[in-house]
Amino acid sequence: MRAGALASALDLPLHGDADRELSRLASLESAGPGDLAFVTGRRYLNALQASTAGLVIVPPGLLEACPVDALVAEDPYVAYAAASWLLVPERQAPAGVHPSAVVDESAEVAPDASVGPRAVIGAGSRIGAGARIGAGCLLGERVRIGAGTRLFDGVTVNDDVHLGGDCRVQSGAVIGAEGFGFAPGRDGWRAIHQIGGVRIGDRVQVGANTTIDCGAIEPTVIGDGVILDNQIQIAHNVRIGNDTAIAACTGIAGSTTIGARCLIGGSCNINGHIELADGVTITATAFVPHSIREAGSYGSAMPLQPNRAWRRTFAALGRLDELLRRVRALERRDSSTAPVPSFPHVPEP
């Protein structure tokens, strides 16, 4: 792609050769004359000044320091994200249903949608315009796939799951599996029929091997613009607000509500039947046992230490009760032996 065409598509001012050919994306350090890179702030100034990239997306404050051609953007990272799809466009799948796919006669597939080899689409399901169903995907009954949504190879979408438009679901994801609902009885556990389905909004990203369980009665709900990393577990009846981001290996127990624009770090454990307010940030590997009513940053993980120091810390943690009892005993002893305060003599009238 030529630099001028890229600048026009991104609606950004170009400082340099509009006819320069760009062939790939690259880091600032490794980029060569045919590559596009970006820089976000002054801490990368030295790398920028040493760069030989063909074109760099820079903030306004770094334009004068840029030794090569530049695009100027208020948010270079967002501009680079848009440029990445233009410079390296996604391969398009041919429209139509592959001969080896199995599509129920009551299902509806848009003429320009693509259904890959050995995919299965159940009764009453609908595939929207421009949607892309990868090879080996399994879609149950009454599934709705919105316009422009892509399911990568090997995705499972069970009955009564609705996905909005422009979603991307990576391989191995399972949406709409039965939630973990069991009633204890005299003869053991009795499964509760999970019939609530799943409702997923527009522009949602679901990572590889992430699982979203269906609701028990009402649906599990994922709002618009939510991004879910790989290997996340979302239990039945969870509700996640718009534009929340959740990193890999986090587990969310049933009937929890997470607000909009939350940031959940990797490997967090979030208890069931609690609520997180809008704008909450949870740092990585934290345990969330109760509701959080106010926006802000929260964490509970033990920071990393050298192993020898960690052993001492762990040993001390095991003695906290004993140490606390000793401190209280010392406080009581000190208070009982403290001198009685004296007051000046006041003569009787």
Point out the residues that are catalytic.
236
Question: What contacts 39, CB < 8 A, 6 or more positions away?
Answer: 28, 47, 48, 56, 57, 58, 59, 62, 76
Alpha-carbon gap, residue 225 to 212, rounded angstroms: 16
> What separation in angstroms does the CA of 200 have from each of 129, 213, 234?
17, 12, 12
Alpha-carbon gap, residue 153 to 121, rounded angstroms: 14
Query: How many CB atoms sit inside 10 A of residue 268's CB?
Result: 23
Q: Give ∠ CA 209-214-217 in degrees, rounded to 5.
A: 170
**Nearest by Cα to 82 from 149, 10, 157, 144:** 10
Residue the block writes with tokens 């080996």: 136
Phi and psi at residue 45, in whole multiples of 5°?
-60, -45
Q: Which helix (H) or strand (E) holds 335?
A: helix 320-337
Alpha-carbon gap, residue 235 to 261, rounded angstroms: 20
**3-state SS, one letter per residue, for 119-182:** CEECCCCEECCCCEECCCCEECCCCEECCCCEECCCCEECCCEEECCCCEECCCCEEEECCCCE
Alpha-carbon gap, residue 127 to 27, rounded angstroms: 38
**Nearest by Cα to 151 from 110, 97, 199, 208:** 208
Alpha-carbon gap, residue 1 to 46, rounded angstroms: 28
- Classify the C-alpha dihedral 8-12-18-20 as positive or negative: negative
